């Protein structure tokens, strides 16, 4: 099953290329970069200074019928859902769409010092995590597993960068249905 990455307000091409390379290797799937015309201004909250991820996903659903596979929206803007101060990403459980923001994956967001390798590592983890939800996985209690929940950047860094045995077998089972 193919995976489609749709950059939206995202301009780090080197990170995008590296993400495509890593995801195709780790998931043995074909990864295509696609262009979805989404105007994020429509989903901006002036009160919060952030963008409402659930609404962005809803918009993407109306635009991506032609893509047979999982669609990850990749953005640099800061995302929220009403109950939380921010989110790294959101996914439809067992669905087609997810969204991932690298805004708070940048080390300079925390320490002021940029670190491209750390940014790539964090982005791979969170992309695998959101895809895992699309493949039907819920959060995993194993800290070695990329499906462990991350509420802050420390937790992104602590958790592993691969699926645990239990989770990968569900992903393989899911992909086997197609
Ligand atoms: Zn999650
Ligand atoms: Zn797991």
pLDDT for residue 131: 96
Mean local confidence (pLDDT), 25-51: 96
Mean pLDDT of the chain: 95
Strand partners, 74: 7, 100
User: Using CB atoms within 10 A of its CB, is residue 4 exposed (0-12), middle (13-18) or buried (19+)?
Assistant: buried
Taking only the tens place, the pLDDT of each residue in 41-54 is 999 999 999 999 99
Structural fold of domain 2-131: Collagenase (Catalytic Domain) (3.40.390)
At residue 178, does pLDDT exceed 60?
Answer: no
Q: Does 130 participate in catalysis according to the annotation?
A: yes
Cα-based torsion angle of the residue sequence 32, 6, 102, 44 in order, rounded to the nearest 10 degrees? 180
pLDDT for residue 42: 96
pLDDT for residue 172: 87
At residue 34, does pLDDT exceed 90?
Answer: yes
DSSP element (H, E) containing 134: helix 116-134
Task: Supply the angle between the helices 116-134 and 13-27 in degrees, to the nearest 10.
Answer: 50
Interior angle at CA 10, CA 111 and CA 26, nearest 5: 85
- CA 56 – CA 123 distance, rounded (Å): 19
Distances (CA, A) of 56 to 49, 80, 138, 157, 170: 15, 11, 22, 26, 27
3-state SS, residue 70: strand
Taking only the tens place, the pLDDT of each residue in 116-157 is 999 999 999 999 999 999 999 999 999 999 999 999 999 999
Active-site entry in 22, 59, 130, 172: 130
pLDDT for residue 175: 73
Kindly identify the ligand whose nearest atom is closest to the C-alpha of 162: 2
- CA 37 – CA 35 distance, rounded (Å): 6
**Helix, strand, coil proportions of the chain in percent (round to 5)?**
40, 20, 40
Mean local confidence (pLDDT), 79-85: 96
At residue 66, does pLDDT exceed 60?
Answer: yes
At residue 177, does pLDDT exceed 70?
Answer: no
Instruction: State the distance from the centre of ligand 1 to the C-alpha of 157, rounded, in angstroms.
Output: 15
Mean local confidence (pLDDT), 5-19: 98
pTM: 0.96
What is the bridge-based pairing of β-strands 79-80 and 97-101? Answer: unpaired
Residue extents of the structural domains in the chain: 2-131
Instruction: State the distance from the centre of ligand 2 to the C-alpha of 155, rounded, in angstroms.
Output: 15
- Grade residue 167 by pLDDT with cuts at 50, 70 and 90: very high
- CA 76 – CA 134 distance, rounded (Å): 21
């Amino acid at each position: 099953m193919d995976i489609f990455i749709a950059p939206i307000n995202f301009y780090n091409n080197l990170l995008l290329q590296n993400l495509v390379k890593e995801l195709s290797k780790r998931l043995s799937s074909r990864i295509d970069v696609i262009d979805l015309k989404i105007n994020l201004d429509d989903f901006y909250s002036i009160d919060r200074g952030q963008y409402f991820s659930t609404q962005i996903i809803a918009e993407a659903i109306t635009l991506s019928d032609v893509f047979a596979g999982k669609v990850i929206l990749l953005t640099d803007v800061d995302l929220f859902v009403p109950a939380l101060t921010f989110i790294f990403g959101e996914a439809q459980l067992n669905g087609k769409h997810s969204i991932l923001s690298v805004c708070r994956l940048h080390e300079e967001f925390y320490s002021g010092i940029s670190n491209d390798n750390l940014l790539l590592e964090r982005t791979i983890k969170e992309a695998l995590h959101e895809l895992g939800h699309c493949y039907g996985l819920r959060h995993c209690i194993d800290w070695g597993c990329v499906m462990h929940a991350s509420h802050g950047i420390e937790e992104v860094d602590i958790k592993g960068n691969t699926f645990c045995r239990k989770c990968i077998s569900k992903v393989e089972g899911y992909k086997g249905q197609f």
